[in-house]
Amino acid sequence: MKMREYSYISLLIKKTPMKKQITKTLIALFIASAPASASIIYTDVNPDSVAFGNSTITWDMDNDGTKDFRITTAASGNIGFSIMQAGQLGTTNSVLVNGSNAALALNLNDAISASSTVWHLMTSNNPQMTLVNGSTVTGTWAGATDKYLGLKFVKASNTYYGWARLTVSGSSLNVVLKDFAYESTPNQQILAGATTTGFDKNVQDVLEVKTYPNPSSSLIKFSFKAQNGNMQLILSDMLGRKVKEISIKAGVSAAELSVAELPEGIYIYTLKGVNINTSGRIEKVD
């Protein structure tokens, strides 16, 4: 596995549909809004790890020699299942699940943080991914292509958030781990698929956003190029907790957020849409 560490910058990259093949030059764009110490540790699983039949995949999020998470597949005849294995390793770590304790398959750019729900501690009760009966596969991960596990792990009393990218068959018992990453700043949120290098597996564009007045004590206005699809404007505190969110319709080139009721401090905005993911800083003053 190859590990890379990058400072908190946003880059623009164009890629072919072929796996991990870069066809355009990286264009770096520094975002002064983010904490200077923030950096993402990215690990490319090369070759991909594959689980099928009765087998497991384990991985070490921070490459310290201790395995943090395990996926187990098991089969008997035409019946099988895949799970996130609990109670064997990483028992202080957690996985994002739904209300039925099934592991969530997150989309690119979904936020992973302390406020994400629901975190399942991996001491017992294995979060299910798929159930297989012949060629029929059901479950939250059935047929998922390039989706993300939301992960939380603890090291030296510090909590870190990360993701793992998987593809899971929709017709057989087969799980593929492709890569994973975590935010090396404790308690800092990470977006699913984020590497801050543009090594995401989809084309991502950086949208120029202007904010004014900034700093502000009441209202902050945002201006940007109108897009063909709807977008979400999300405001988070420095711990990654979402404090505000508004929807922006296609064709709209401006938005406003009231910050009057928020505590004084620095906040991170994220503008997300189809092939758009742009972040920046605003400051609330009293």
pLDDT in tens, 194-207: 886 333 434 345 57
Give the Cα separation of 272 and 227 in Å (integer). 11
> Which residue among 134, 164, 191 closes a domain?
191
> Which residue among 135, 162, 191 closes a domain?
191
Query: Is residue 252 very low, low, confident or very high in pLDDT (cuts 50, 70, 90)?
Result: very high
Query: Is residue 32 very low, low, confident or very high in pLDDT (cuts 50, 70, 90)?
Result: very low
Residue 269 lies in a domain: yes
Residue 202 lies in a domain: no
Residues 184 and 213 in one domain: no
Residues 96 and 140 in one domain: yes
Residues 187 and 217 in one domain: no
Domain that holds residue 257: 209-284
With a cut of 80, say whether residue 36 has pLDDT above it: no
Residues 69 and 161 in one domain: yes
Residues 251 and 118 in one domain: no
Residue 74 lies in a domain: yes
pLDDT in tens, 67-121: 999 999 999 999 999 999 999 999 999 999 998 999 999 998 899 999 898 999 9
Residues 104 and 31 in one domain: yes
Residues 150 and 116 in one domain: yes
Residues 147 and 279 in one domain: no
Residues 48 and 122 in one domain: yes
Residues 146 and 11 in one domain: yes
pLDDT in tens, 125-159: 999 999 999 999 999 999 999 999 999 999 999 99
Show the DSSP H helices in the chain as ranges.
Answer: none
CATH of the domain at 243: 2.60.40.3080
Residues 150 and 44 in one domain: yes
Residue 199 lies in a domain: no
Residue 201 lies in a domain: no
Residue 198 lies in a domain: no
With a cut of 70, say whether residue 282 has pLDDT above it: yes
pLDDT at residue 163 in the model: 97
Residue, of 195 and 258, whose pLDDT is higher: 258
pLDDT at residue 8 in the model: 33
0.85 cut: is pTM over it?
no
Please name the residues in contact with 235: beta carbons below 8 A apart, sequence gap of 6 or more.
Answer: 242, 243, 244, 245, 257, 259, 267, 268, 269, 270, 282
pLDDT at residue 205 in the model: 54
Query: Helix, strand or coil for residue 122?
Result: coil
pLDDT in tens, 232-248: 999 988 877 889 999 99
The stretch 239-266 carries a mean pLDDT of 91
Instruction: Please provide the average confidence, as pLDDT, over all residues in the chain.
Output: 83
Query: Is residue 13 very low, low, confident or very high in pLDDT (cuts 50, 70, 90)?
Result: very low
Q: Report yes or no: 252 and 232 within 8 Å, Cβ to Cβ.
A: no
Q: Which amino acid is present at 247?
A: S
Residue 144 lies in a domain: yes
If one counts every other C-beta atom within 10 angstroms of the C-beta of residue 250, the result is 12
Give the number of domains in the chain.
Answer: 2
With a cut of 70, say whether residue 4 has pLDDT above it: no
Residue 200 lies in a domain: no
pLDDT at residue 23 in the model: 23
pLDDT at residue 35 in the model: 39
Give the Cα separation of 52 and 234 in Å (integer). 39
Residues 86 and 147 in one domain: yes
Please name the residues in contact with 22: beta carbons below 8 A apart, sequence gap of 6 or more.
Answer: 13, 15
> Which residue among 136, 160, 191 closes a domain?
191
The stretch 180-204 carries a mean pLDDT of 73
